Amino acid sequence: MSAQVPAPIAGSERAALQGTTGTELFGDDKAIVAMRVNGQLQDLFRELPADAKVEPVRIDEPDGLNILRHSAAHVLAQAVQQINPDAKLGIGPPITDGFYYDFDVATPFVPEDLKALEKAMQKIINEGQTFSRRVVSDEEARAELADEPYKLELIGLKGNAGEAAEGADAEVGGGELTIYDNLRRDGSRAWGDLCRGPHLPSTKLIGNAFKLTRSAAAYWRGSEKNPQLQRVYGTAWPSKDELKAYLDRLAEAEKRDHRKLGAELDLFSFPDELGSGLPVFHPKGGVIKREMEDFVRRRHIEEGFSYVGSPHITKEGLFHTSGHLPYYADTMFPPMELEGAKYYLKAMNCPMHNLIYRSRGRSYRELPIRYFEFGSVYRYEKSGVVHGLTRVRGLTQDDSHSYCTPEQAPAEVKHLLDFVLSVLRDFGLDDFYLELSTRDTEGDKKDKFIGSDEEWEIATKVLEDVAKESGLELVPDPGGAAFYGPKISVQARDAIGRSWQMSTIQYDFNQPRGFELEYQAADGSRQRPVMIHSAKFGSLERFFGVLVEHYAGAFPPWLSPVQVLGVPVAEEFADYLGGVLDTLAAQGVRVELDDSDDRFPKKIRNASKSKVPFVLIAGEEDRSAGAVSFRYRDGSQKNAVPLADAVAEITSAIERRAQV
């Protein structure tokens, strides 16, 4: 029997005899590092079954990059145990743009350790060790890994590893148990690890395009109840040029880190006295926050939404009615006892909006009804995942809920998607793709989703049709839906190409049932509306953080806390320049005058660091001519601009929301 093998050249196929290995088929092309056999990733050294469909996996495609990085993680673990034989192994999966491996070691890793590990890894790589797969029984694995307590725990979790620990499926998966041995050229065993594979044919394919980037503490299996391990992060790429490009992106991302810029620009802080994930906005950050709120509040009203408000706490029963509590209890703050009842800090706004809808009878003539509020909600995120403004415990959502007939749902979803995209464009984000999150459809995982197959099918089709109609790339996210219905997520790429999940649109057929929401149809019957959730920012805090990084702190004029900074050449010109700023302030422009005792060159340096969009300078020539000179953020300058022209340029840039 033969196997059908698509050759690396698109559209062609080759026939291979049963028992042929991938190495024999693709050995001439060193860029091919693995193969898909009937859709399953496998090592090249494995033999092909009869009538198999075989596809090559190249090192520069997503699966190939994961295999490269997973193999690099194994080499890292081998290097760690060479240097420190007492180190115990956790897990080592590939992740976006890299890999990590967790270790139980007596002393945390320091930067000097990472340099030593890189040298040890390079030596292993240069030896050209091969990865060899062995199928073992549970008993054999336990005997062989008797000194590795974390591996023994994973063996006990086989078949449920994906839920047991992040990345654990890279170790044991859900099928047969395998160990990968690293073999020297003479066939002797250098090292081995519990793993489901696949791996590169040889460590030499890792080359020298890898780097260990940092180390951090991490709880075993992500639980603070478990031992704290040391996690070493790294990255690996097919070439040195790609590695350099990635490291350059990392350096640029570090310069744009919103936590660093937030402190430098005096925008926000995280006081220890408040606790983890609870930011405070300083006056300058408050200006940006207010501009964001005012703009989006006005846009919602223009799009037909009614502004509503709801309290920060509510009785426990409300979240049982909405269906949230059984699913989100672990991420809600503990209840408080008040007047013999349990009250929760609200973690979502939708149950309150349902009560507003239900407060009186509704007619089909009123639909769609759209409610919107800036609702503050509180979620108990674990301290290990709290991250600046992008993952907080107290957040404000620009939360909206549309109530419509089932027939109106497609048009309402389209209306919301168009609205979302227009808002993101207004804030300078214009590179998008969409993600469609659906439910799991198999086994026990399906049970965590509420509703019938028919309801899910209808809801998913509505979202999918609208998403496809938008013309944007649509990426599936199976299993990522909320318990009550599918959702579209808008993924926006920032100025350096990173993707951020921003807005969401969710179709909900559960809460209208739970709250017994109704409207009177044209025939007089009582019908149940469809509820569609949408958040344009997602959360205001996260969006704020993304904008800081997107703009590297240099906000466009309409968002900048200070839009114009006046810098007199000498003290005698301060009054003249102050009068110019007063004229601008009278038109609503946010201005400041630097009348400090600093010398002029230092004032200019300070102005550059503050990232103000317009710096106005005045000396004797400017005062005599009734003019000012402009200094822009890119360092360019325009001299002797008449006052009327200067005011017009500034106010026009603000009104147009120019990206300068």
Which residue do the tokens 């997602």 mark?
Answer: 538
Give dist(CA 627, CA 634) in Å, integer: 21
Residues in a beta bridge with 505: 488, 534
195 assigned to active site? no
Dist. CA 404–CA 369, nearest whole Å:
7
Say if CB 491 and CB 435 are below 8 A apart: yes
- 70 in a known ligand binding site: no
**Coil, strand or helix: which one is 629?**
strand
- Active-site residue, 401 included: yes
- Asked if 102 and 230 touch (Cβ cutoff 8 Å), the reply is yes
Catalytic residue among 397, 408, 506, 563: 397
Catalytic residue among 196, 393, 401, 611: 401
DSSP codes, 152-214: HHHHHTTT-HHHHSTTGGGTT-SS-EEEEEEE-TTS-EEEEEE------SBGGGGTT-EEEEE
Helix (H, G, I), strand (E, B) or coil at 303: coil
Q: Residue 399 catalytic?
A: yes
Active site residue 29: no
Q: How far is it, in rounded angstroms, from Cα 174 to Cα 287?
A: 52
Cα 40 from Cα 38, distance rounded (Å): 6
- Which residue among the candidates 211, 258, 324, 379 is catalytic per the annotation? 379
Q: Is 387 marked as binding a ligand?
A: no
Catalytic residue among 300, 353, 393, 533: 533
Distance CA 44, CA 36 (A): 9
* Secondary structure (3-state) at 19: coil
In DSSP notation, 215-248 reads EEEEEGGG-TTSPEEEEEEEEE-SSHHHHHHHHH
Whether 426 is catalytic is no
74 catalytic, yes or no?
no
| Residue 517 contacts residue 528 (beta carbons within 8 Å) | yes
List, as one string, the DSSP characters of 389-449: TTB-SEEEEEEEEEEE-GGGHHHHHHHHHHHHHHHHHHTT---EEEEEEE---SGGGGGGS
The catalytic position among 102, 113, 398, 399 is 399
Q: Which residue has the tokens 């999918």?
A: 464
User: Do residues 213 and 98 touch, judged by C-beta distance below 8 A?
Assistant: yes
CA–CA separation, 227 vs 509, rounded Å?
42
Q: Dihedrals φ, ψ of 122, to 5°?
A: -60, -35
Cα(309)–Cα(347) distance, rounded to whole angstroms?
15
Closest residue by Cα to residue 228 from 219, 236, 237: 219
What strands lie across the sheet with 130-136, from one edge to the other?
130-136, 177-183, 189-194
Q: Which amino acid is at 601?
A: P
Tell me the residue type at 350.
C
Longest Cα pair distance anywhere in the chain, in angstroms?
94
Q: Is 404 annotated as a binding residue?
A: no
Q: Is 397 a catalytic residue?
A: yes
The catalytic residues are 350, 379, 397, 399, 401, 487, 533
Q: List residues forming the annotated binding site for Zn(2+).
A: 350, 401, 533
